[in-house]
Amino acid sequence: MIGPYASSRRRRFTRLDIALLTLLALAVAWFILRLYSGEAYRWNWRVIGRYMVRYDAAAGRWRANVLLNGLLTTIRLSLWSGILATLIGLVMGVVATRKRLIARLITRSYVEFARNTPPLVLVFLFYYFLGDQIIAVLGLEQAIMSLGPVQRQILTVIGAPPRQFPAFLSAVVTLALFEGAYLTEIVRAGIESVSRGQWEAAYALGLSPLDRYRFVILPQAWRVVLPATVGQFISIIKDSAIVAVISIPELTFQGLEVMAATYRTFEIWITIALLYFVLSSSCSWIAHALERRMAINR
Amino acid sequence: MSRNSAAALREIGRNPLLRVLVDVAGFLILVAALGALLAHNTAALGYRWQWHRVPRYILTVRDGQLHAGPLLLGLGVTVRIVAVSLGVSIAVALATALLRLSQSTVGQALARVYLEAIRNTPLLVQLFFTYFVVAPIVGLDGWTSAVIALSLFEGAYASEIIRGGIVSLPAGQWEAAYSLGLGRRDALRFIILPQALRRILPPLVGQGVSLIKDSALVSTIAIYDLTMRGQVIVAQSFLAFEIWFSVAVIYLVITITLSALVAVMRRRLVGSYEH
Amino acid sequence: MSISSHHDAIITVSGISKTFPNGVRALDDVSVSIARQEVLVVIGPSGSGKSTFLRCLNGLETVDRGTIVVDGIPLDHDRSNRLEIRKEVGMVFQQFNLFPHMTVGENIDLAQRRVRGTSAADARTVSLELLAKVGLEERVDSYPARLSGGQQQRVAIARALALRPKVMLFDEATSALDPEMIGEVLDVMRALAAEGMTMVVVTHEMGFAREVGDRAVFIDEGRFVELASAQRLFDAPREDRTRAFLSKVL
C-alpha cells in the first residue's frame, strides 16, 4: 500500500479498471463504426505480400521486393551510420574531456549544433553539401562506375547498388554526424564516470597518455558507455526514417512509394509501423539481455 | 626552435588569459577555415552565393511597412504547433505516468502498450500513420493530425520523466504523509508532486527542445511550418545553402536559448530547499 | 513469556505474522496489548523486526496473518478504518521525513487542514503551540534544511502531534542524530511520556528505555523473546538471548 512503487508488485482490479475498459471499448467501437460507415474501406492485405516478395519468373525464384528491400536498406543504413557515429563519438568524446579550452570549444559547438537543430534540417543541409559537393569533388561516382562486377556485387550487399551508392553514402554520413553528437556525450559521460583516483594512479605509474586511455580509462568507461551506445543504435534505426525525405529507398520511403502506386494506405502504414516495431523492440530486447549479462559479470 | 621563441611559448602556456585567447583564436581560425573550404568547394562547382537575397524571405518592407516574410510566417506556425502540442503532451504524460503508478491492471497495461508502441517506431511513421490511417477514419485535418502525433510522441517520453521524478523521491515522504492521515491523492498533491516538479522541470523543458526539433517533421504532411517554408523557397530560388543555414540558425536561436534555460534551472532548482 | 492483558488496552495485537516478498520473515506470531498511557519500549538487534512491528501498528505495513485493533477500530483492508487509525496514531521516523518544500509551520499545518479541515488560522495557532512545546516556536517560518538534525526531529514530533493522536510511535527517533543532539530529542519524548501519552518506542538508547519505559520487549528474529516491566527486563533478564543482547549493548 505504500507509495506508488508498491503498485508494480500489487495489482488490483479497481473502479478505474472498469472505467478504462468501458472507455476503451467505446473508442474501439466508434473507430470500427467510422471505418465501415459510408464508403467502407476494403482491405487488401495481399498487396503487402506482393510488395514484400515477388516471383522472378526469369530466374525461377522468389526475390525481395521493394518493402523488404526497404527494410534491408534501413538495417544497412543504421548499421553503417551507427559504426561511423561510434567512431565520431569516441574521438570527440575523448577530446571533450580534455582540459584545453579549444578542445571543449570544438566539441561543445559540434554537440550543441547537432543536438539543437532539427534532424530534418540537418539532413537537408548536409545532403546538399555532401551529396552535391563532397562526393562530386572526390569523384566517387566515377570510381564506383569503374568497379568490376564482383566488387559491385559486394557494394550492393553491404551498402547499396552502385547507382544509388553516392546518395546512400551521404545519408550514412548525415545520420552519423548528428547521432555522433549523442554518442560524444555518452562517451564523455562514461569517461567522466571514472573516478579521479584512477587517472592519478595511471599518471603515477608513468603511463603514456594513450596508454592511460587504452588500459585504464576506456575499459572502465566501457561499462557506462556500452548500454547507452546500444540504446543509441536503436535511436538510429528510428531516426533513419528521416532520410526518406531525400529519397533514400529505405523502409519509410518505400512505404510512400507503394502508397502512391497502390493507394493501400492502411495496410502499408500498419505494416511499416509493425516492421519498425519488431526491429526496434528486438534490438532493445538484445540490449537488455546484454545489460543483464554485464551486470552479472561485474 | 630558438631559445627565445621557446621561452615565449612557455610564457603563453603559463598565462591563463593568453591561453584562453590563443584557444579562442585557434577555434575561430578552424571555423573560418571550414567556412572557406565550403565556400571554395561550392564555388568550384558553380554555386553562386547570394546571401543578399535571404533577408527578403524573413522580413520585407512594402509601402513603408514591415511584412513578415515566408520564413517568419513559417516560424509562427511552428511556434503555434509546438505550443499546442506541448500542452497536450504534458496532459498525456501526466495521465500516463499516473496510470503506470496506479494499481489498476488495465491502466498499467494501457500505459505500457502506448509507451512501447511510441518508443519502438519512428516519429515520421507515427506521423504518417496518424495522417494517412487515423485521420481519414476519425475525420481530422492535417494540423490536428500533426498536433496529435507530436503530442503522443513527446508525451511518451515526458511521462517517463514525470514517473522518474515521482519514483525518485524517498519512500519516507510517502510514509510521513500517510502517517499524518493523508490519503493517496492528498499525498500526491501536497507532498509528492510539488517536490517531484523540481526534479521534473529541467528535463521536461529539455523535452520541449526536442519537441521544437521534432516539429520540423510536420512539413512532410504539408504543414507550412518553418521547415516547409524553407523547402518551398529552396525549390523556387535554388538558394539551398543560404536558406537551410538561415532556417538552422532560427531553430538554433530558440533551442539553444531553451537549453541554456534548462542549465540555469538545473542549478537553481535541483539544490536543497533553502530560502 | 508473559502477556499482561490490561482492561483498558488501546492497542491489541493478536498473532500477527509478516513475510516480505524477498522471503524474509519479519514477524512471527506476535501478540501484545498496550494500555492507555503506557510506554512500551522495543529493543532488539538490527533486522530483528522491531521497525516492521511498529510500522504495522499504523498500517504502513500490512500483516499476512493476525489482527490489530487500535482504539476499537480494526486495522484491516477497509480504507476508512485505516485513515481513522492514522489520525489516532502519530509516527516519528528515524530520518525525520519532514517535507523539505514546506516551512516548519506548513509541515505542521498540513494534516490539520487536509485531514481535519481546520482553518488556516486555527491550524497555525495549534502549530505554534506544539512548536513551543518542543522549544522551536521562533523557527516556524524556516525550511527544514535550515535546521539541525535535532531540531528537525523535534519539528517532526510536533508534526506527529498535530492531530492530537492518542498513541505515538517512535521508530529509532535518535539513531540518525549526532550524539550532541540526542539529548534534546529524548527530553521532548520524556516530557510527552510524563504527560501520559501512550507511546511505542523502538530505540537503541538503553538508558532512556529503562528510565521511561513501563514495559519493555526484546524482539529477535521476528519473535517476542521476552516481554516484561522495563526495570525487570533490563536488570534481571530471564532469557539467555536477552541477556546476551544486553551484555553487548550496555
The grid coordinates listed for A202 are: 595511471
Q: Which of C86, C100, C145 has the CB atom closest to B178's CB atom? A: C86
Residue B84 and residue B32 share a domain: no
How many other CB atoms sit within 10 Å of the CB of residue B83? Answer: 12
Q: Is residue B103 part of a domain?
A: yes
Residue B88 and residue B145 share a domain: yes
Q: Are B156 and B114 in contact (CB under 8 A)?
A: yes
Q: Is residue B18 part of a domain?
A: yes
pTM of the model: 0.82
The DSSP code sequence of A63-104 is: EE-HHHHHHHHHHHHHHHHHHHHHHHHHHHHHHHTSS-HHHH
Please name the amino acid found at residue A166. Answer: P
Q: Which of A1, A2, A9 has the CB atom closest to C21's CB atom? A: A9
Q: Are B174 and B224 in contact (CB under 8 A)?
A: no
Identify the domain containing residue B19 by its residue range: 3-45
Q: Is residue B268 part of a domain?
A: no
Residue B133 and residue B40 share a domain: no
- Give C55-59's long-range contacts (Cβ < 8 A, gap of 24+): C55/C171, C56/C13, C56/C16, C56/C18, C56/C27, C57/C11, C57/C13, C57/C89, C57/C167, C57/C169, C57/C200, C58/B179, C58/C85, C58/C86, C58/C89, C58/C91, C58/C169, C59/A1, C59/B178, C59/C85, C59/C86
Q: Are C97 and C158 in contact (CB under 8 A)?
A: no
The total domain count for chain B is 2
In angstroms, what separates the C-alpha of C91 from chain B's closest C-alpha?
6
C contact residues 9-28, partner A, Cβ 8 Å cutoff: 21
In angstroms, what separates the C-alpha of A289 from chain C's closest C-alpha?
23
Distance CA C39, CA A26 (A): 58
| Residue-level pLDDT at A78 | 94
Cross-chain residue pair A1–C21, CB shorter than 8 Å: no
Q: Is residue B84 part of a domain?
A: yes
Q: Is residue B269 part of a domain?
A: no
In angstroms, what separates the C-alpha of C11 from chain B's closest C-alpha?
16
Please name the amino acid found at residue C235. Answer: D
Q: Is residue A26 part of a domain?
A: no
Distance CA C181, CA C174 (A): 8
Residue B95 and residue B40 share a domain: no
> Does the pLDDT value for residue B35 go beyond 60?
yes
Identify the domain containing residue A133 by its residue range: 72-297
For residues B74 and C77, the model is more confident at B74
Distance CA C172, CA C134 (A): 18
Place of cell 559486394: A154
ipTM of the complex as predicted:
0.86
Cross-chain residue pair A1–C59, CB shorter than 8 Å: yes
Residue B124 and residue B22 share a domain: no
Adjacent-strand bridge partners of B68: B59
Rounded to 5°, the CA angle B270-B271-B274 comes to: 130
Residue B17 and residue B104 share a domain: no
| pLDDT single digits (tens) A185-208 | 999 999 988 888 888 888 888 788
| pLDDT single digits (tens) A115-142 | 899 999 988 888 777 766 667 667 777 7
Distance CA B219, CA B227 (A): 6
Determine which helix (DSSP H) or strand (DSSP E) holds A10, and give its type and residue range: none
Residue B159 and residue B26 share a domain: no
Q: Is residue A167 part of a domain?
A: yes
Q: Is residue A27 part of a domain?
A: no
Q: Is residue B95 part of a domain?
A: yes
Residue B106 and residue B218 share a domain: yes
Helix (H, G, I), strand (E, B) or coil at C194: helix
List Cα–Cα distances, C159 to A204, C88, C131, C144, in angstroms: 54, 13, 9, 12
Buried b (16+ CB within 10 A) or exposed e, B262-271: beebbeeeee
Q: Is residue B35 part of a domain?
A: yes
> Does the pLDDT value for residue A255 go beyond 60?
yes
Q: Is residue A280 part of a domain?
A: yes
Strand runs labelled E in chain A: 53-56, 61-64
| pLDDT single digits (tens) A74-131 | 999 999 999 999 999 999 999 998 888 889 899 999 999 998 999 999 888 887 777 6
The conformational region for residue B126 under phi > 0 = left, psi -120 to 50 = alpha, else beta, is alpha
Q: Is C97 on the interface with A (CB under 8 A)?
A: no
Q: Which of C86, C95, C145 has the CB atom closest to B179's CB atom? A: C86
CATH code for the domain in which residue B161 is found:
1.10.3720.10
Residue B119 and residue B15 share a domain: no
| Radius of gyration of chain C measured on its C-alpha atoms | 18
List Cα–Cα distances, B65 to B54, B60, C81, in angstroms: 18, 8, 72
Average pLDDT along chain A: 84
Q: Is residue A57 part of a domain?
A: no
The burial class, CB within 10 Å (0-12 / 13-18 / 19+), for B191 is buried
Residue B183 and residue B93 share a domain: yes
Q: Are A250 and A70 in contact (CB under 8 A)?
A: yes
Distance CA B161, CA B53 (A): 44
Asked which of B45, B62, B79 is the last residue of a domain, the reply is: B45
Q: Is residue B54 part of a domain?
A: no
Q: Are A258 and A66 in contact (CB under 8 A)?
A: yes
Distance CA B225, CA A41 (A): 31
Q: Find the chain A residues whose C-beta atoms sit closer than 8 A to any C-beta of C.
A: 1-2, 9
In angstroms, what separates the C-alpha of A287 from chain C's closest C-alpha?
27
Residue B136 and residue B27 share a domain: no
The total domain count for chain A is 1
CATH code for the domain in which residue A173 is found:
1.10.3720.10
B contact residues 204-243, partner A, Cβ 8 Å cutoff: 209, 212-217, 219-220, 227, 230-231, 234, 240-241
Asked which of B184, B200, B227 is the last residue of a domain, the reply is: B227
Alpha helical stretches, state H, C134-218 = 149-160, 179-195, 206-212
CA proximity to B75, closest of B221, B239, B248: B248
Determine which helix (DSSP H) or strand (DSSP E) holds A161, and give its type and residue range: none
Residue B202 and residue B75 share a domain: yes
Q: Is residue A64 part of a domain?
A: no
| pLDDT single digits (tens) C119-169 | 999 999 999 999 999 999 999 999 999 999 999 999 999 999 999 999 999
Query: Count H helices, E strands: chain B?
Result: 13, 2
Distance CA C99, CA C110 (A): 10
| pLDDT single digits (tens) A283-297 | 888 888 877 877 766
C contact residues 169-198, partner A, Cβ 8 Å cutoff: none
